[in-house]
Amino acid sequence: MASSSNYFPFPIILLLPFLIITINIPESSSLPTPSSQAPTPNLSLDYYKTSCPDFVKIVRETVTSKQINNPTTAAATLRLFFHDCMVEGCDASVLVSSNSFNKAERDAHDNIALPGDGFDMIIRIKTALELTCPKTVSCADIISQATRDLVTMVGGPFYNVLLGRRDGLVSNSSRVDGNLPRTNMTMDNLISFFETRGFSIQEMVALSGAHTIGFSHCVEFRDRLFNYSPNTPTDPAINPKFAEALKKICANQEDTAMSAFNDVFTPGKFDNMYFQNLEKGLGLLATDSAMFMDKRTKPFVQLYAANQTQFFLDFGRAMEKLSVVGVKTGNEGEVRSRCDHFNNVSA
Ligand code: HEM
Ligand SMILES: *[C@@H]1O[C@H](CO)[C@@H](O)[C@H](O)[C@H]1NC(C)=O
Ligand SMILES: *[C@@H]1O[C@H](CO)[C@@H](O)[C@H](O)[C@H]1NC(C)=O
Ligand SMILES: *[C@@H]1O[C@H](CO)[C@@H](O)[C@H](O)[C@H]1NC(C)=O
Ligand SMILES: *[C@@H]1O[C@H](CO)[C@@H](O)[C@H](O)[C@H]1NC(C)=O
């Protein structure tokens, strides 16, 4: 199945914990709570209660078996969800395949490295649901629900997922550029990127905690190692031992598959280690490190590094908010029969 293939058959390089640093837990200061979520009409927690009573169970079971067999699925799906919601809203537009008339979102430069496990995850759930309640559950709802279940399964918080999204009718690769954050953005860029989409600085920091799982390809952080500035090849913000280990992994520029875990200590567990890492110079991407260096974001990094309960609460709330960005309801869009095709296009 073309839509479940991996673009990059990557060998995951295990960076074992190689240094022990005493963690300096800062005093948690009083910080404002994230802004509350506006109620979204036509979405509800029990949307499929009568039309597809087994929805919750089918998603949970499919997610569980896939994650056990492919442990990279949780991170792959979480990133897929984020990229879907940022372009045309959370409407499964990222799942649509290109054809000779349309280059779809998923084939845009910023999406090309989205791992096949995320797409495969959604297709498996859709297949199971079509057998039980055909043409009922939208692909957009599947992404949101599966992401929540996976985050919870790998140790993260449970949060509510409203349902009733419709699938979008537009998936255009040219809409991706500028609608996803990049690692070369300044903190000003990042803050305004998220603010424009309704997220506070604190919510942005909380959402970045998603990088407590998964991995990044060398191309995303190589410049920090070898090309930081003319006189300083390696970004001084990176812990020197960490930088040395990363340089070994990324030494061969030709090997585009090489990658490192976003969270070097607990790469498969959803926890607050990402924030603790940032305090120790163990942030992988430039934008990760920047969260600890900028005075607007640093207090939140310190808060979450010191208090996982607070991180989980805020991450859950921010995810609830992210999952209703630009949703289509009522008669907008459609409920796709196949997640990789609009209904009016023959396979
Ligand atoms: C703050 C701005 C952000 C930037 C610049 C950014 C950038 C990136 C980059 C470059 C990668 C590596 C991709 C690869 O090499 O394959 C990545 C991975 C990832 N991102 Fe982000 N990201 C950001 C925010 C987010 C948010 C808000 C989420 C979700 C809520 C998220 C979830 C993930 C996940 C889970 C991975 C790992 C994917 C995997 O292992 O398959 N990111 N991100
Ligand atoms: C995609 O967007 C571009 C730029 O807005 C536009 O020229 C093109 O016609 C769109 N493609 C489709 C199939 O709508
Ligand atoms: C960031 O990198 C992209 C290519 O990945 C480039 O097109 C863009 O101009 C860069 N942005 C900045 C602010 O340097
Ligand atoms: C951590 O955050 C939770 C939730 O806000 C709060 O109830 C708890 O008191 C905090 N713990 C510490 C040690 O500050
Ligand atoms: C809610 O759904 C109804 C019918 O399904 C539709 O007429 C109405 O426009 C929708 N409201 C919003 C705010 O989407």
Going from N- to C-terminal start, the domains of the chain cover 20-180+322-332, 187-318
Q: Write the CATH number of the domain with boundaries 20-180+322-332.
A: 1.10.520.10
Distance (Å, whole) CA 74 – CA 151 = 7
Look at 26 and 237; give whichever has higher pLDDT.
Answer: 237
Q: Catalytic: which of 83, 109, 217, 341?
A: 83
Q: Does the 187-318 domain belong in CATH 1.10.420.10?
A: yes
Q: Is 93 annotated as a binding residue?
A: yes
Å from CA of 262 to ligand 1 middle? 9
SS (H, E, C) the chain: CHHHCCCCCCCCCCCCCCCCCCCCCCCCCCCCCCCCCCCCCCCECCCCCCCCCCHHHHHHHHHHHHHHHCCCHHHHHHHHHHHHHHCCCCCCHHHCCCECCECCHHHCHHHCCCCHHHHHHHHHHHHHHHHHCCCCCCHHHHHHHHHHHHHHHCCCCCCCCCECCEECCCCCHHHCCCCCCCCCCCHHHHHHHHHHCCCCHHHHHHHHHHHHCCEEEHHHCHHHHHCCCCCCCCCCCCCHHHHHHHHHHCCCCCCCCCEEECCCCCCCCCCCHHHHHHHCCCCCCHHHHHHHHCCCCHHHHHHHHHCHHHHHHHHHHHHHHHCCCCCECCCCCECCCCCCCCCCCCC
pLDDT of residue 34 exceeding 60, the answer is: no
Cα–Cα distance for residue pair 68/149, rounded to 1 Å: 13
Could you say which ligand is closest to the alpha carbon of residue 47?
A: 5
Does 91 appear as a known binding residue?
yes
Asked whether the beta carbons of 73 and 150 are under 8 A apart, the reply is yes
Residue 211 assigned to a binding site: yes
Say yes or no to pLDDT of 26 above 70. Answer: no
Task: Note the pLDDT of residue 121.
Answer: 98
Q: In testing the pocket of ligand 3, which one of 109, 180, 182 has its CB within 8 Å of the most ligand atoms?
A: 182
What is the pLDDT, as a whole number, of residue 346? 52
Ligand nearest to the CA of 330: 5
Considering the chain, what is the average pLDDT of its residues? 90
Q: What gap in Å lies between CA 303 and CA 34, rounded to an integer?
A: 13
- pLDDT tens across 252-306, in order? 999 999 999 999 999 999 999 999 999 999 999 999 999 999 999 999 999 999 9
Asked if residues 172 and 105 have their Cβ atoms less than 8 Å apart, the reply is yes
Asked whether 316 and 323 are in contact (CB, 8 A), the reply is no
Tell me: pLDDT of 3 over 60: no
pLDDT tens digits for 233-243? Answer: 999 999 999 99
> What are φ and ψ of residue 114, in 5° steps?
-60, 125
Please indicate whether residue 182, judged by its CB atom, sits closer than 6 Å to ligand 3: yes
pLDDT at 36: 46
How far apart are the C-alpha atoms of 215 and 231, rounded to whole Å? 29
Please tell me the residue having the least CA distance from ligand 2 atom 7.
Answer: 174
Q: Kind of pairing, strands 259-261 and 215-217?
A: antiparallel
* Ligand 5 contacts CB of residue 9 (under 6 A): no
* Beta-carbon count within 10 A of 54 CB: 13
83 noted as active-site residue: yes
Q: What percent of the chain has a predicted confidence (pLDDT) above 70?
A: 87
Q: Work out the pLDDT band at 42, boundaries 50, 70, 90.
A: confident
User: Would you say 215 and 261 are in contact if contact means Cβ atoms under 8 Å apart?
Assistant: yes
Q: What would the two tokens of residue 240 be?
A: 């020197």
Ligand 5 atom with least separation from CA of 42: 1
Token pair for 147: 């992401």
Say whether 149 counts as a known binding-site residue. Answer: no
Q: Quote the ligand 2 centre to 136 CA distance (angstroms).
A: 29
Which one is predicted more confidently, 6 or 177?
Answer: 177
Q: How far apart are the first and last CA of the chain?
A: 12
Q: For residue range 99-116, list pLDDT tens digits in order.
A: 999 999 999 999 999 999
Same fold, 20-180+322-332 and 187-318: no
**Is 37 buried (19+), middle (13-18) or exposed (0-12) by CB count in 10 A?**
middle
Indicate which atom in ligand 2 lies nearest the CA of residue 101. 13
Answer whether 172's CB lies under 8 Å from 340's CB: no
Is residue 263 annotated as involved in ligand binding? yes
Task: Measure the CA angle with vertex 69, ends 66 and 72; round to 5°.
Answer: 80
Residue nearest to atom 10 of ligand 2 (CA): 172
Query: Which ligand 3 atom is the nearest neighbour of the CA of 109?
Result: 5
Output the six-digit token pair for 127: 């297949």
